[in-house]
Structure 1
Amino acid sequence: MNLEIPKKFSPLINQAQQVAREVFRPISRKYDRAEHEYPKELDLFASIMDGMNDGAADGGTGAGKLARSESKGGGGNRNGTNMKTVLGLTELCWGDVGLALSIPRQGLGNSAIAAVANEEQLARLGNTWAAMAITEPGAGSDSAAIRTTATEDGDGYILNGEKIYVTAGERADAVVVWATLDRNKGRAAIKSFVVEKGTPGMTVERLEKKLGIRASDTAAIRFDNCRVPKENLLGDPDVSVEKGFAGAMQTFDNTRPVVAGMAIGVASAALQKTRELIALTGIDLGYHTQTWTQPAVTRELQLMEAELEAARLLTLRAAWMADNGLPNSKEASIAKAKAGRVGNMVTLRCVELCGSLGYGETELLEKWARDSKILDIFEGTQQIQLLIIARRLLGKSSAELK
């Protein structure tokens, strides 16, 4: 694996940096204060992205638009959509995490469609802005404990249940809903269904007020005898005890490196701004002296840079493995655990190092600290990532190691 960023991604990175700097940063505080107000400025940006992606062999560049790995791990070296998405989102989140999550037609549910949909579904739903609905009031970290049901009825399924913390749940054109076909068969019966906006029986109950990513709407949605056609069930409709719900869980192998990249982006923003503010005081922030002769703040900034670079390399590895058809469940969790923890640590410490400037609203440092916390929680909490890593390393099943 070459640790240098492939040259073919340079235009993407440059464009994402420009958007983060010229579009996201200027409106970041505005939509942090105006929670639940739709950022209209993103419509033009989304149209530009649609134009960039027309005819692209490996899909889109935004959050969740992840293609299936074309390679099967049988040789060669591919840097495809997973790497492209991670690199692009890292730069966009240097601008604003909430706005990056609000880009039309780039929802987290698109990753589920890309991961498990068949060819017909990809053609029909690939350009749909899809949110992801997994978490329930009684089922958070344990995705297998969900209670929302899908009952077969003629040429469709009837969904009943409640989902919470659905990112873009009100704005998206559709919601990918995880539901069980048979509660008695456990995780093997869990499938994902695409429910289009406006479907009778699907109701947005409320929008949550949040600590961070306030530009992104987070909805609670109820399904009351909500009917969806059979062709909107993603993947294999058969209940297989042997396979469990591996197809649905494959979504996380794609999205966890993306969330790790988002954490790296916002932490990089905080670290860069902190260096700029501290440099104004005349403190030497260079790398030419030994750590024991440096000012304490210089040494601390360099240690945070090292932690952030380690997280970045782990994230690139997980994305590269996905692009090359290599099983990356462990590596995706390692990247997510490392980047989520480091991102939150860096942003909080930057607030502390900058004192009143870090805590006040004249700079975005306090906002970045608030935004970073969710990146250590959603797509699987820090604790769940460590549990998954332990299972993979020890060769234990979820039943053997809880």
Structure 2
Amino acid sequence: MNLETPKKFSGLVSQAHEVAAQFFRPLSRKYDQAEHAYPKELDLLAALLDGMNAGSPDAVGATSASKRSATAEEGIKNGGNLAALLGVMELCWGDVGLLLAMPRQGLGNAAIAAVANDEQLQRFRGTWAAMAITEPGCGSDSAAIRTTAVKDGDHYVLNGEKIFVTSGERADAVVVWATLDKSLGRAAIKSFVVEHGTPGMSVTRLEKKLGIKASDTAAISFVDCRVPAANLLGNPEIDVQKGFAGVMETFDNTRPLVAGMAIGVAKAALDRTRELLKDACAFDYARPLFAVSHAEATLYRLEAEWEAARLLTLKAAWLADNRQPNSKEASIAKAKAGRVANEVTLKCVELAGALGYGEDELLEKWARDSKILDIFEGTQQIQLLIVARRLLGKSSSELK
């Protein structure tokens, strides 16, 4: 097994790391303290990324995380999913909240890339899209969605409320999950692109949060909101046999990206803690664990956990690039990376003592930012449930 970064992506990784170090890090504390203020500095960076992607078959970022770009060619392919993941890992070494606030890099963009048809891909190109799934009575159980979409001529009429929508206020549009028929359960859930300014759609509040404060998190209501039928992503027909699979394809692409965010912030904490402890610890990997200090042994264990999460996440993205089923692997990566990021960042605060707890260091911020990465895009518990279903061959009704 060759575990090195593919040579074709070395430039991407290097550039992303420089952006994280020279652009994101200096802005981290500013927008952590100015919650809900839009980081205008990101506009230039987003424009540069748009320029890189213009007309390129090897686009990078959220729009490249799709199985559609994978080819059926013989041999191993390292494609858009792996490129997006490697970029996310490096950028989140800089700041998770700022990445989530990047124009046209929202999870809604990944959803469009995953399930939109060719005409929709072209029409929504350049649109910054947020993703709206969670509702007041529906969290990780996406099949329990109650927002409705009723066909009316050339439109669908949406009614319902969405909460915890990342970039919900700032984005150009929101990809909204809604049901066409509650009696048919998860099979009737479809996703719709609803552009801001559409009558009947309104942002009702912005959340105050523990972390990722540079990113706005909104609650949005839909009251008789008329959306063009052409904005329903993918196949409008309800396929009871296929069930929820069409919409869930989005998660196969986005969960490895969220795992990548966790890996990036955990690596930032490990790197900084190592720097802070360099005068007190030898960091000699040749010495057995019983012969080193507790701080050293702890850091070595955290590094091992981090490496395991990283490799699992790379595998999930690689499978998508090679058109292989990856739902189980995407959930495994998300569960492992989210848990590891929480443990690593909190333990690094502990190892650094009072220095880690104060605002002179970013360690305390990374610990706060990391918690959401174990929650959104499906909580730790729902990921473990999905993995169990896949391993045991059980349906969602058989194993709850």
The C-alpha deviation readout for 1:253-287, integer Å capped at 9, x for no partner, is 0001101111000000001100100113x321221
Match of 1:4 in 2: 4
* Contact 1:73 1:326 (C-alpha < 8 Å) held by counterparts: no
> Residue 62 of structure 1: CA displacement?
2.5
Q: 1-10 or 108-117: which moved more?
A: 1-10
SS in 2 for 1:164: strand
SS in 2 for 1:287: coil
Q: 160-169 or 62-71: which moved more?
A: 62-71
**1: distance between equivalents of 2:72 and 2:299?**
39
**1: distance between equivalents of 2:36 and 2:393?**
44
2:355 pairs, out of 349, 354, 357, with 357
Match of 1:321 in 2: 319
Q: Normalised by the size of structure 2, how large is the TM-score? A: 0.98
2:346 pairs, out of 315, 330, 348, with 348
> Residue 72 of structure 1: CA displacement?
6.2
SS in 1 for 2:161: strand
**2: distance between equivalents of 1:121 and 1:166?**
22
Where in structure 1 are there 5+ consecutive unaligned residues?
none
- Answer yes or no: is 1:367 the counterpart of 2:397: no
Alignment of 1:69-84 (within 5 A): 69-71=68-70, 75-84=74-83
Q: Which AA in structure 1 matches 2:338?
A: G
- Answer yes or no: is 1:312 the counterpart of 2:292: no
Match of 2:251 in 1: 252
**1: distance between equivalents of 2:209 and 2:66?**
31
Alignment of 1:3-402 (within 5 A): 3-59=3-59, 61-63=60-62, 65-71=64-70, 75-280=74-279, 282-402=280-400
Q: Which AA in structure 2 matches 1:399?
A: S
> Residue 112 of structure 1: CA displacement?
1.1
The C-alpha deviation readout for 1:144-198, integer Å capped at 9, x for no partner, is 1010000100111000000000000000000000000111111111000000111
Moved over 4 A (4+): none
SS in 2 for 1:228: strand
Q: Which AA in structure 2 matches 1:82?
A: N
> Residue 67 of structure 1: CA displacement?
3.1
Q: Which AA in structure 1 matches 2:58?
A: D
SS in 1 for 2:214: coil
SS in 2 for 1:392: helix
The C-alpha deviation readout for 1:187-234, integer Å capped at 9, x for no partner, is 111000000111111000000000000000000000011001110000
> Residue 83 of structure 1: CA displacement?
0.3
Where in structure 2 are there 5+ consecutive unaligned residues?
none
* Contact 2:66 2:253 (C-alpha < 8 Å) held by counterparts: no
* Contact 1:133 1:166 (C-alpha < 8 Å) held by counterparts: yes
Q: Which AA in structure 2 matches 1:240?
A: D
The C-alpha deviation readout for 1:75-119, integer Å capped at 9, x for no partner, is 421111100011000000000000000111111101111111111
Q: Which AA in structure 2 matches 1:57?
A: P
SS in 2 for 1:234: coil
**2: distance between equivalents of 1:204 and 1:195?**
13
**2: distance between equivalents of 1:77 and 1:2?**
12
Q: Which AA in structure 1 matches 2:2?
A: N
**C-alpha spacing 1:199/1:387, structure 2 compared with 1 (3 Å):** same
> Residue 290 of structure 1: CA displacement?
1.1
> Residue 55 of structure 1: CA displacement?
1.6
Percentage of pairs with the same residue: 70
Q: What is the CA RMSD across the aligned residues, in angstroms? A: 1.1
